[in-house]
Amino acid sequence: MRLPENLRRLADRLAGREPSVEDERLLELFRNRVELKKELTALDDDRHRLLDRLKLQEGATMRVEEQLAALEQYLGRPEEGYKSLAYYQLKALWRVACKRLEQFGAELARQQKDRERRQQVAEFERHKRERIAVFERELTEARVLGEQLQAEQKLARQRLAQLNGFWNYFRRRRAVEEIHARDYRLVEATAQISKLEAEVAAIEAEPPPLFAGLSVDGRRAINVAVIAYAEMLYDRLAAGGLAELARQSTLKRVFDAHYGAPQACHELMQRAAKAAGEIEGMSEDLAEIKARADRLRRQAAYRKEEETVPAPESIAAIDSGATGKRTPNVLLDEYWEIYRALVR
């Protein structure tokens, strides 16, 4: 389209003249072209993004294949077989302890949620009863007033019926006026009763509010108990250094692990397997957990008011009564993947 033609079309639009059918068709084609270019650009961006992800995935796959090849060569040497079995047995022990800790934290969170929800509903019901009591007092007063007005009205109508004769004309007139005024008061009293009954019904129909989530104090209580449980797990596995060996299996590669001669590796596997079974079947010692949690609660410090996880440096290591060794700072050393069990 030539430039003068464009100027002519612009002048026509400025002058208020309707564009021709040809102009509308060309304009629609231009709009469609713009939209198609946008969609093409978006598809091109998606293509490049998917190609980048594919390259990353290919790189990750190559690394895994290289690791598997190196592991196959490593396990192909008989002298490394026992060490590798011990290494993965310790990793299995670590996973068992992590799962037990996570289950403990989840159960505590569920119980705390139920407790706080019950408290919330109880508080809501108490407040609702107080509001209903206020309206019911007003409703009782309104009903008493209505009954009193009805009784007075009935008596007034009976007296009006007895005022016969022309000499009672003015008395009848006053009586009629009083009856009309009382009728108006009766209407108001009835309306007030209906209003109050509706208010009471509306309050009674109010559902409890939605649960907004665990309180800060509730989450702190759960986290302190989880830390106490992690300490207890450590003490159960501290004998023979199983807890530390299990932790090291998550920090080192199998190639870097060293557990001694095959006989020592075999004994370590047996001890790790036995400990894993004991952890899985361990009963909760609530008295010990409570004692540890009370100590931790006295030590715990938080960086902010809304923080729910204690500062790691505020949790001091303690002497273990079971082994004579010190129980480490399980929060600082991240024993049993503790941060997965904590609630935020």
| Percent with pLDDT over 70 in the chain | 88
91, 246 Cβ separation under 8 angstroms = yes
Q: pLDDT for 205-252, tens place per residue?
A: 999 999 989 999 999 999 999 999 999 999 999 888 899 999 999 998
Q: State what percent of residues in the chain have pLDDT above 90.
A: 48
Nearest of 98, 99, 102, 97 to residue 272 by alpha carbon: 97
- Length of the chain, please? 344
Residue 55 scores a pLDDT above 80: yes
Mean pLDDT of the chain: 86
The answer to whether 105 touches 218, Cβ cutoff 8 Å, is no
82 has a pLDDT exceeding 90: no
Task: For the full predicted model, state whether its pTM sits above 0.85.
Answer: no
pLDDT digits (tens, 9 = 90+) for 187-205: 998 999 999 999 999 999 9
Q: What is the DSSP string of 314-339?
A: GS--EE-TTTSSEE--TTTTTGGGHH
CB-count burial class (<10 Å; 0-12, 13-18, 19+) for 12: middle
Residue 234's nearest CA partner among 225, 247, 251, 221 is 247
Please check whether residue 211 is in contact with residue 109, taking contact to mean a CB–CB distance below 8 angstroms.
no
